[in-house]
Amino acid sequence: MKIVVFDFETTGLNPQNDYPIELALLITDFKDTHKEYSSKIKLPRGVKLPPFITNLTGLTEEDLQQKGKDLEEVKQDILSLIDIEKDLFVAHNANFDLGFLYHHFGIAPKRFVCTRTIEFLTNPHENCSLKNTYARYYGEKEQTHRALDDVKMTLEVLKSHFEHHGEYAMVFFVNKIVQTPERNLVFVPENATVLDFTKKFALKEEKQ
């Protein structure tokens, strides 16, 4: 099984209104890393990079303009590396990354796993950010908020999930995403099952 771990850095949180500025892919079968891909992405003309994104990632508009690729060029790079029918796509908070993959590149993988969803379902009382999830398994590590670094952290988290839950149990998490009270889903893939934890249920009283 070929696993594609991927991550976007973006201008904001909404895949329909914001833009990708960096993408990284790491293709593996767990035994070996077959391919690493990372590219900065040029912004469309007239789109500005918010200062807080520069503060978070260290990326500047000059970086993107001078070293970035056009969206179509990045799309062709992606398609040369992946098989959307067979590969398992993995991201932390996958609805976010899958949203940018779909809205800006028209790519919709058939199978995905969200490591944030796995962590939420198996450690429901813990903070499920990538930084905190990684720390639970490997200890503290500074998060750079650069795409390739985040991809490598996500892969290590995925490996720990496989070790803790087993391959057969991991099948349950394929194409599952959680809706939580503190974070709305910005995109729902067509093939996804949403586990809604925003609703509260009460047992009906039995009639006497």
**Residue 86: inside a domain:** yes
Q: Provide the pLDDT confidence category of residue 199 given band limits of 50, 70 and 90.
A: confident
Question: Rounded to two decimals, what is the model's pTM?
Answer: 0.93
Distance CA 125, CA 1 (A): 32
Taking the C-alpha atoms of residue 141 and residue 146, their distance in angstroms, rounded to an integer, is 14
Q: Could you tell me which residues come within 8 angstroms of residue 25 by beta carbon, excluding any fewer than 6 positions away?
A: 4, 5, 6, 35, 36, 37, 38, 78, 81, 82, 151
Mean pLDDT over each residue of the chain, to the nearest integer: 94
**201 has pLDDT over 60:** no
In a domain, 78, yes or no: yes
Label residue 92 by pLDDT band (50, 70, 90).
very high
Count of the separate structural domains present in the chain: 1
Residue 202 lies in a domain: no
Is it the case that residue 180 has pLDDT exceeding 80?
Answer: yes
Here the CATH number for the domain that contains residue 34 is 3.30.420.10
Residue 201 falls inside a structural domain: no
Mean pLDDT to the nearest integer, 136-161: 96
C-alpha dihedral sign at 56, 16, 78, 112: positive
Asked, for residue 206, whether it belongs to a domain, the answer is: no
* Domain enclosing residue 168, as ranges: 3-196
Q: Please report the pLDDT score of residue 32 as a whole number.
A: 77
Between CA 70 and CA 31 the distance in angstroms is 33
Residue 74 lies in a domain: yes
| Domain presence at residue 208 | no
Is 203 a member of any domain?
A: no
